[in-house]
């Protein structure tokens, strides 16, 4: 049977014009992307129209791998290497026939390879790239780890030590030692699942591997105690740490490349009664999310954020607990302010993202390079904008405030619960009220809330209790959303996170109240009489838009003692 080319199919059914096809084909020659992807990115065609056309023209069925994920037992039907190489997923199988989900059902090379490997007739089906990605991760995500674990159990101590000494990175290296492949596959699994941290925790009879995904720790693997030392030694080698030292905490760092992702690893060890506990923080060095949309700013908060960045001097503080997204907001600010017209210098501990055109300084307290001493040195470097990773003491705060009133714009972070309490915190660490009133321009307080999983999101009618929790008027028929739980979100109902904000811009009235050192209750009255919206307001907005749930909003608001 002769098949039309995709472009000709789309033209023949009137979804695109000949001119649009020609333009897309010219772009394809330059960057090598798939034609359907180019057509969709240019807005010529919607993805679902593309799949509907392929289904009609090719006579194949469409399968939604996100809504209807394949069962775990299908991973045994097709080897991981073939599935990843050709981006194909087994959907169903019997003794003679294998239904195979594919991005391109005309890829006859892939079909023949799968037919040879499974000894079954292959019936191609079409699915989306996102669906293929999700299914690959769900079916084969930890297969390498489990295989390496089995090999490790039968490997001698001598073999383990020689494998650990090798400096090989890449979970797909079939010739690498099991220890290396185990560590690399754990890292790959964590990156694919969007984990922010990996915890390797020694217990009495085993080592448990847990991963923090969307702010919650989840158990991923169990490593036999006999192989614990080899795994930890391999991680130490990657982080350029002393593998012979087991009795004191150690720190290291490494960098790995997985597909198009450049991942920075921060490694920390801690001696426990059952051995060394290791925590690996994963930092995706892609700048894709370091913009106002990526961090979740919109509406009035976005206007306030941009207005603060128009200041040529003063202090802007980003506040919140550890893990609330302060660094991402700081880098977003730096990215918007970084031009050839300014000298922008940062003091960081550690430097998380390398930014072109920014003079980034790494804090090293062992050599005397502290935030306070580094800030003094920067002031002699003719800076326009200074970004201080964190204000940890009164000395650093005083220097930052004085730098601001001498004509510099200073960005920094502080650990406080909310924007108003930041004012009290600055006074507590010894900053004079007149300095705070003169130098401080605004405070951005933020938290991270979990997003409802888009694959299992469902509407429901809010209860009176839920409306009261969010301080909303009780009325019948109000619709909210929640996730029912599915394989894509580990049956939690949540996948991914976004930030919620409260932004306090210091008005003349607020500055006057601070300078007069009025009681806290009076200061709050002045703040609330202006254009200040507390964190609760942003949480309610996301609940009403179906981005997060009442429970997440309530948890976030309660954590700030509002």
Residues 291-309 pLDDT 10s: 888 888 988 999 999 999 9
Q: Which of 62-71, 227-236, 347-356 has the highest mean pLDDT?
A: 227-236
Predicted pLDDT of residue 560: 52
- Rounded to an integer, the average pLDDT of 87-105 is 89
Predicted pLDDT of residue 426: 93
Q: Is residue 526 over pLDDT 80? A: yes
Q: Give me the domains of the chain, ranges plus CATH numbers.
A: 6-133 (3.30.300.160), 141-284 (3.30.450.90), 292-450+498-535 (3.40.50.300)
| Residues comprising the chain, all counted | 562
Q: Is residue 46 over pLDDT 90? A: no
Q: Which of 40-54, 79-93, 171-185, 280-294 has the highest mean pLDDT?
A: 79-93
Predicted pLDDT of residue 292: 85
Angle between helices 178-193 and 228-238 (to 10 degrees): 70
495 class by beta-carbon count within 10 Å (0-12 exposed, 13-18 middle, 19+ buried)? buried
Predicted pLDDT of residue 208: 92
Predicted pLDDT of residue 438: 94
Q: Is residue 189 over pLDDT 80? A: yes
Q: Is residue 175 over pLDDT 60? A: no
Predicted pLDDT of residue 172: 46
Cis before 350 (ω within 30)? yes
Q: How far is CA 527 from CA 200, 285, 522, 524, 532, in A?
A: 46, 38, 9, 5, 7
More confident: 162 or 427: 427
Residues 155 and 234: beta-carbon distance below 8 Å: no
Q: How far apart are CA 389 and CA 229, in angstroms?
A: 35
Q: Which of 91-100, 346-355, 369-378, 420-429 has the lowest mean pLDDT?
A: 346-355
What pTM, to 2 d.p., does this model score?
Answer: 0.72
Q: pLDDT per residue over 112-127, tens digit each?
A: 999 999 999 999 998 8
Q: Is residue 452 over pLDDT 90? A: yes
- Rounded to an integer, the average pLDDT of 54-60 is 78
Q: Predicted confidence band at 142 (pLDDT cuts at 50, 70, 90)? A: low
Q: Please report, rounded to a whole number, the percentage of residues in the chain having pLDDT higher than 70.
A: 90
Across the chain, mean pLDDT equals: 85
Q: Predicted confidence band at 168 (pLDDT cuts at 50, 70, 90)? A: very low
- Rounded to an integer, the average pLDDT of 134-157 is 66
Predicted pLDDT of residue 276: 94
Q: Predicted confidence band at 166 (pLDDT cuts at 50, 70, 90)? A: very low
Q: pLDDT per residue over 227-261, tens digit each?
A: 889 899 999 999 999 999 999 999 998 988 876 67
Residues 87 and 65: beta-carbon distance below 8 Å: no
DSSP notation for 367-384: GTB-HHHHHHHHTTS--S
Q: How far apart are CA 522 and CA 340, in angstroms?
A: 44
Q: Predicted confidence band at 157 (pLDDT cuts at 50, 70, 90)? A: very low
Predicted pLDDT of residue 169: 42
More confident: 260 or 110: 110
Predicted pLDDT of residue 149: 67
Q: Is residue 165 over pLDDT 60? A: no
Q: Predicted confidence band at 164 (pLDDT cuts at 50, 70, 90)? A: very low
Q: pLDDT per residue over 365-421, tens digit each?
A: 888 888 889 999 999 999 999 999 899 888 999 999 999 999 999 999 999 989 999
Predicted pLDDT of residue 155: 56
Q: Predicted confidence band at 69 (pLDDT cuts at 50, 70, 90)? A: confident
Predicted pLDDT of residue 392: 87
Q: Predicted confidence band at 170 (pLDDT cuts at 50, 70, 90)? A: very low
DSSP notation for 97-142: EEEEEES-TT-HHHHHHHHHHHTSEEEEEE--HHHHHHHHHHHHTT
Helix then strand then coil, % of the chain, to nearest 5: 40, 25, 35
Q: How far is CA 464 from CA 121, 303, 535, in A?
A: 57, 33, 21
More confident: 502 or 75: 502
E strand or H helix that includes residue 394:
helix 394-405
Q: Is residue 3 over pLDDT 60? A: no
Q: How far is CA 510 from CA 189, 324, 411, 437, 518, in A?
A: 49, 26, 20, 8, 10
Q: Is residue 451 over pLDDT 80? A: yes
Q: Is residue 341 over pLDDT 50? A: yes
Q: How far apart are CA 547 and CA 46, in angstroms?
A: 23
Q: Is residue 285 over pLDDT 60? A: yes
Q: How far apart are CA 362 and CA 119, in angstroms?
A: 58
Q: pLDDT per residue over 460-506, tens digit each?
A: 999 999 999 898 998 888 999 999 887 777 788 998 899 999 999 99
As a whole number of Å, the end-to-end CA separation of the chain is 68
Predicted pLDDT of residue 162: 47
């Amino acid at each position: 049977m002769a098949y039309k080319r995709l472009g000709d199919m789309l033209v023949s059914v009137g979804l695109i014009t000949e001119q649009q096809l020609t333009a897309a084909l010219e772009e394809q020659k330059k960057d090598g992307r798939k034609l359907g992807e180019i057509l969709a990115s240019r807005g010529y065609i919607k993805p679902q129209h593309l799949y509907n056309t392929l289904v009609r023209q090719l006579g194949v069925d469409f399968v939604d791998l996100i809504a209807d994920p394949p069962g775990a037992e299908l991973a045994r039907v097709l080897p991981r290497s073939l599935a990843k190489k050709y981006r194909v997923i087994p959907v169903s199988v019997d003794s003679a026939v294998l239904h195979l989900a594919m991005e391109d059902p005309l890829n006859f090379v892939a079909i023949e390879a799968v037919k040879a490997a499974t000894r079954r007739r292959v019936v191609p089906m079409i699915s989306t790239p996102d669906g293929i990605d999700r299914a690959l991760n769900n079916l084969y995500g930890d297969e390498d780890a489990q295989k390496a674990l089995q090999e490790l159990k039968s490997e001698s101590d001598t073999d383990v030590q020689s494998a650990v000494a090798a400096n090989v990175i890449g979970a797909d290296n079939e010739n690498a030692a099991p220890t290396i492949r185990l560590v690399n596959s754990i890292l790959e699994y964590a990156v694919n699942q969007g984990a922010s941290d990996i915890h390797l925790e020694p217990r009495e009879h085993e080592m448990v591997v847990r991963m923090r995904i969307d702010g919650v720790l989840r158990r991923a693997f169990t490593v036999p105690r006999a192989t614990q030392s080899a795994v930890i030694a391999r991680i130490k080698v990657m982080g350029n740490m002393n593998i012979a030292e087991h009795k004191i905490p150690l720190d290291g760092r490494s960098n790995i490349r997985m597909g198009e992702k450049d991942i920075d690893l921060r490694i920390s060890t801690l001696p426990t009664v059952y051995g060394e506990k290791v925590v690996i923080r994963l930092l995706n060095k892609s700048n894709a999310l370091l913009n106002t949309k990526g961090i979740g700013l919109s509406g009035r908060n976005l206007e306030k954020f941009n207005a603060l960045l128009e200041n040529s001097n003063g202090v802007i503080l980003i506040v919140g607990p550890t893990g609330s997204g302060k660094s991402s907001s700081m880098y977003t600010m730096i990215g918007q302010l970084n031009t050839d017209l300014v000298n922008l210098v940062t003091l960081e501990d550690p430097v998380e993202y390398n930014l072109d055109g920014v003079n980034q300084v790494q804090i090293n307290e062992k050599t005397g390079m502290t935030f306070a001493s580094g800030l003094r040195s920067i002031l002699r470097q003719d800076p326009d904008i200074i970004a201080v990773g964190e204000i940890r003491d009164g000395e650093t705060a005083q220097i930052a405030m004085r730098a601001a009133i001498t004509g510099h714009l200073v960005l920094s972070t502080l650990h406080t619960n909310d924007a108003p309490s930041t004012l009290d915190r600055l006074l507590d660490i010894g900053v004079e009220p007149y300095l705070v009133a003169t130098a401080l321009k605004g405070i951005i307080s933020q938290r991270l809330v979990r997003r409802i999983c888009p694959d299992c999101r469902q509407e429901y009618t809010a209860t009176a209790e839920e409306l009261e929790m969010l301080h909303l008027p009780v009325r019948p028929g109000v619709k909210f959303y929640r996730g029912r739980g599915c394989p894509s979100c580990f049956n939690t109902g949540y996948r991914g996170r976004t930030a919620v904000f409260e932004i306090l811009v210091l008005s003349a009235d607020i500055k006057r109240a601070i300078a007069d050192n009025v009681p806290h209750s009076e200061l709050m009255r002045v703040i609330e009489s202006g254009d200040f919206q507390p964190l609760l307001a942003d949480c309610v907005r996301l609940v009403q838009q179906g981005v997060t749930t009442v429970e997440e909003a309530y948890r976030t608001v309660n954590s700030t003692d509002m």
